[in-house]
Chain A
Amino acid sequence: MSRFWSVAAQRVFDAVTRRRCAVWLSFPALGIALLTILSSAGCSSRTINSTSANTAFVTVPQSGISEWRIDNSGNFTNVLGSPFQVGNSPISLQLHPSNQFLYVANQADSTISLLKIDSNSGALTEVLPRTSTPAEPSLLLMNKGGTLLFSMNIAGGNVAVFSINASNGALTQVPGSPFTTGANPSGMAITPTADFLYVSNANQSLIYAYSVSSAGALQQVSGSPFPVTTYPLGMAVNPAGTLLFVANSGANTVSVFAIGSTGGLTPAPLSPFTVGTSPVAVAVAPTGDFVYVVNQGSNNLSMFSVATNGVLTAVSGSPFSTGSGPSYVVADPNGTFVYIGNQRSATITVYQFEPISSSNTEITLTGTGNTPSTTLASSSMAVTN
């Protein structure tokens, strides 16, 4: 090796002594040489060592969109530039499956912001102008394919449906939109295949069921609306599209419905199931084996295993404590973590899946101790795959 360097040095020496400008010419040569060495060590491109880190986006109505990277231990790292500003009172968001676009409902503006996501820095850049919606959008949903966006609008008592341009993320309202639903809708859920959309109405204690055409048109299904226990709020559908879970805030229960082939709802055996005080939101684990219910009044999270017929069984350790005023729950798409947004304490509680038997059929949640602060109350969250 020393012979190599001696020869190399001698050649550089010869060049230098022959022509002075060769000194400057040697700089890029040295650079190329060093780059070659680094390339062989795996450092040739600007971005290497891709990680499995997820990215979390959170709406904070008083400040914008907060964004974090989440490592494999559930630790949050603030993304440079976060929080990113959007319209007034961002209340709900949806992440496009491509992870390139983020949609945010600005409740006070009655608009939807489209933000492009930088794949490396994570920086959000809003594409203007914003898209208008009917009055007071409060909840966004997207179909799994990322072709349709649904906006539930409280003041208008309707659901606006937008088609999504796959290349640039632009929204276009579909013909017939917005579609009228009961006054003051309170929750919304969609089946994974986007065949059926469900809208809960807390004041009426009803669930409106709609079939969804490929173009995004909504048509109420036979038998809709379906009665449910007192004051339904958050809802979720399992990945198989066979069960609908409804948080009944006024009854401290969660209802489970079987979804028929035409979108009709039939109560599951033993439904409703008792949870904590004032349940407000529901999420289903990516496997569909477990369901989470956030209890805002008792500051905890109920977790159940789900039988095929919809019967729920509380898992070991349930309910799990949260921060003050939990208002939403998000299941990590990888199935590793569960995130609970706490409005009053302005924090996010992070739990990790923990098998309690060697067969992994029994699961509990273990607190990671990570409680990133949102500084101000947050209202919704999305996590990348």
Chain B
Amino acid sequence: MFAGYSYLRLDAKSYGFLNNSNLNGVNINVSIPVYHQLSAVLDSSAHFGSDERFYTFLAGAQYTHPLRNGRVFGHALFGKSRNDENIAEPTTEFTFGRIPSSLGLAIAFGGGYDYPLNSRFTLRIIQVDYLHTKTYETTQNNIRASAGIVIHFTRKKKK
């Protein structure tokens, strides 16, 4: 299981913001070995800004390959994203609420590099994803970067 800090460069210009947004948050994913170096992955992230919240819920496949002392991996993930912008809209003539959040498609392609610390912990030095989402009736091309710790719940077999 991976858990760590995550940064999201949100393509807010796609729905009329003057600038794209830089959001900070967390990324958690669970990887279950399926066949040799191929794993099934469940991935979730939450990112926050002053008036913005962006969530992803993804699942897909991940391929891992040894590289030097660590392991490089690549994955393809598919699922949903939820975008919640704090934009006011009138609920009656003299009171204001906020526009509803938007749920839509999410696709992520990316990879990263893990450096093992011991049999239990691995340092995920970097994971970068191109994150394509569809919210508020527009498409966003985002970049997500994460780093943190991978915790292994299965011990390696001793030789």
Residues of A within 8 A of B (CB): 2, 5-6, 9, 12-13, 16-17, 23, 26-28, 30-31, 33-35, 38, 43, 45-51, 53, 55, 67-69, 77-82, 84-85, 119-123, 125-126, 128
Q: Which of A12, A38, A50 contacts B19 (CB 8 A)?
A: A50
Given contacts A46-B50, A51-B13, A80-B16, is CB(A30)–CB(B21) below 8 Å? no
Q: Which residues of B contact A49 (CB under 8 A)?
A: 19-20
Report the Cα distance A50→B20, complex, angstroms.
Answer: 9
Q: A30 near B147 (CB under 8 angstroms)?
A: yes
Report the Cα distance A85→B92, complex, angstroms.
Answer: 10
Is B130 located at the chain interface by the 8 A CB criterion?
Answer: no
Q: B49 near A46 (CB under 8 angstroms)?
A: yes
Q: Which residue of B lies closest to A29 (CB)?
A: B5
Is B145 located at the chain interface by the 8 A CB criterion?
Answer: yes
Q: B19 near A48 (CB under 8 angstroms)?
A: yes
Q: Which residues of A contact B118 (CB under 8 A)?
A: 13, 16-17
Min Cβ gap B137→A in Å is: 8
Q: B4 near A30 (CB under 8 angstroms)?
A: yes
Q: B148 near A30 (CB under 8 angstroms)?
A: yes
Q: Which residue of B lies closest to A86 (CB)?
A: B90
Q: Which of A77, A84, A128 contacts B13 (CB 8 A)?
A: A77
Q: Which residue of A lies closest to B15 (CB)?
A: A80
Min Cβ gap B77→A in Å is: 20
Given contacts A9-B115, A126-B90, is CB(A35)–CB(B16) below 8 Å? no
Q: Which of A16, A28, A125 contacts B88 (CB 8 A)?
A: A125
Residues of B within 8 A of A (CB): 3-5, 7, 9, 12-22, 24, 49-51, 68-69, 85, 87-90, 94, 96, 99, 115, 117-118, 121, 123, 125-126, 136, 138, 145, 147-149
Q: B5 near A85 (CB under 8 angstroms)?
A: no
Q: Which of A16, A35, A84 contacts B7 (CB 8 A)?
A: A35
Q: Which residue of A lies closest to B99 (CB)?
A: A81
Q: Which of A6, A27, A35, A79 contacts B4 (CB 8 A)?
A: A27
Q: Which residues of A contact B7 (CB under 8 A)?
A: 34-35, 38, 43
**Please, could you name 7 A-B residue pairs with CB atoms under 8 Å apart, sorted by A?**
A13-B121, A16-B117, A17-B117, A27-B5, A46-B21, A80-B99, A122-B17
Q: A119 near B18 (CB under 8 angstroms)?
A: yes
Q: A80 near B117 (CB under 8 angstroms)?
A: no
Q: A121 near B87 (CB under 8 angstroms)?
A: yes
Q: Which of A9, A46, A68, A119 contacts B123 (CB 8 A)?
A: A9
Q: Which residues of B contact A35 (CB under 8 A)?
A: 7, 24
Q: Which residue of B lies closest to A68 (CB)?
A: B16
Q: Which residues of A contact B123 (CB under 8 A)?
A: 9, 12-13
Q: Which residue of A lies closest to B126 (CB)?
A: A34
Min Cβ gap A361→B in Å is: 34
Q: A121 near B94 (CB under 8 angstroms)?
A: no
Chain A contact residues: helix, strand, loop or mixed = mixed
Residue picked from A12, A35, A121, most chain B C-beta under 10 Å: A121
Min Cβ gap B130→A in Å is: 16
Q: Which residues of B contact A120 (CB under 8 A)?
A: 12, 17-19
Q: Which of B19, B68, B148 contacts A47 (CB 8 A)?
A: B19
Report the Cα distance A80→B87, complex, angstroms.
Answer: 8
Given contacts A38-B7, A81-B87, A123-B88, is CB(A51)–CB(B94) below 8 Å? no
Q: B51 near A121 (CB under 8 angstroms)?
A: yes
Report the Cα distance A225→B5, complex, angstroms.
Answer: 71
Q: B117 near A33 (CB under 8 angstroms)?
A: no
Min Cβ gap A201→B in Å is: 34
Q: A80 near B136 (CB under 8 angstroms)?
A: yes
Q: Which residues of B contact A31 (CB under 8 A)?
A: 5, 24, 147
Q: Which residues of B contact A45 (CB under 8 A)?
A: 22
Q: Which residues of B contact A79 (CB under 8 A)?
A: 15-16
Q: A23 near B121 (CB under 8 angstroms)?
A: yes
Report the Cα distance A318→B82, complex, angstroms.
Answer: 49
Given contacts A27-B4, A30-B4, A35-B7, is CB(A46)–CB(B88) below 8 Å? no
Min Cβ gap B60→A in Å is: 23
Report the Cα distance A121→B85, complex, angstroms.
Answer: 9
Q: Which residues of B contact A123 (CB under 8 A)?
A: 87-88
Q: Known pairs A13-B123, A38-B22. 8 more at Cβ < 8 A?
A: A5-B115, A12-B117, A16-B149, A27-B5, A30-B5, A35-B24, A69-B16, A77-B16
Q: B21 near A47 (CB under 8 angstroms)?
A: yes
Q: A9 near B5 (CB under 8 angstroms)?
A: no
Min Cβ gap A131→B in Å is: 15
Q: Which residues of A contact B13 (CB under 8 A)?
A: 51, 69, 77
Min Cβ gap B108→A in Å is: 18
The 3 residue pairs across chains A and B that have the minimum distance between CB atoms: A79-B16, A31-B5, A47-B19
